[in-house]
């Protein structure tokens, strides 16, 4: 059994009250948002230099630790282990997931074009078909309906309150 809801008729008074409340609340949100943004900006201006200083120091330290670990890999790690815990930090090397790497001197598009000609390699190529909706709107070709398409406009409702200055 389908669930149905009966809508009561909205009075003009209820409409006007709701519209005024919507605009008032929208303006309050804008005012609060502006106030919050000023406070956040002040905090950012206060702390950003410290964050930048610490980030530079951390980057330099990371590069030093990484270089040391590369040079002393056989002393720090066993053949079966690629990581260890030292001074409250877990350090080591990990293998990323497999990915295709384009070798130096080669171009992916050129490789794909060659593979189209080599039938055995086609299984590694991806072919995607997608509607070029901008071109369809621009050209408005005849007979779109029989393909399940049409060029048109959909009506949507909007409510954009006029912004007022906060007191």
Q: Kindly give, in sequence order, each residue whose CB lies less than 8 Å from that of residue 26, ignoring residues fewer than 6 positions away.
A: 161, 163
Give the predicted TM-score (pTM) of the model.
0.51
Listed in order, strand segments (DSSP E) in 46-132 are 83-86, 89-92
Q: Can you give the length of the chain in residues? A: 167
The string of pLDDT tens digits covering residues 44-86 is: 999 999 999 999 999 999 999 999 988 998 888 887 888 888 8
Q: Give the pLDDT band (50/70/90) at residue 167.
A: low
Buried b / exposed e across 85-117, counting CB within 10 Å, b at 16+? Answer: eeeeeebeeeeeeeeeeeeeeeeeeeeeeeeee
- Residue 22 phi, psi (nearest 5): -60, -50
What is the pLDDT at residue 25? Answer: 95
Each domain of the chain, given as residue ranges in start order, spans: 12-147
> Which range is most confident: 33-37, 91-95, 130-134?
33-37
Is residue 17's pLDDT more than 70?
Answer: yes
What is the pLDDT at residue 1? Answer: 52
Listed in order, strand segments (DSSP E) in the chain are 83-86, 89-92
For residues 141 and 76, what is the distance between their CA atoms, to the nearest angstrom? 68
């Amino acid at each position: 059994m389908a669930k149905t809801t009966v809508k009561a008729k909205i009075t003009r008074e209820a409409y006007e009250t709701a519209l005024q409340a919507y605009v008032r609340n929208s303006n309050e949100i804008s005012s609060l948002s502006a106030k919050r943004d000023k406070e956040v900006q002040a905090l950012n201006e206060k702390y950003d230099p410290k964050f930048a200083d610490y980030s530079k120091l951390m980057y330099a330290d990371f590069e030093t630790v990484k270089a040391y670990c590369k040079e002393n890999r056989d002393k720090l790690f066993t053949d079966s282990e690629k990581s260890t815990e030292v001074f409250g930090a877990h350090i080591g090397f990990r293998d990323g997931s497999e990915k295709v790497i384009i070798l130096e001197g080669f171009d992916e598009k050129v490789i794909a074009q060659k593979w189209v000609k080599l039938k055995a390699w086609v299984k590694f190529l991806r072919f995607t078909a997608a509607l070029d909706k901008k071109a369809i709107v621009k050209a408005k070709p005849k007979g779109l309906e029989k393909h399940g398409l049409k060029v048109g406009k959909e009506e949507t409702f909007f409510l954009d309150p006029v912004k007022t200055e906060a007191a």
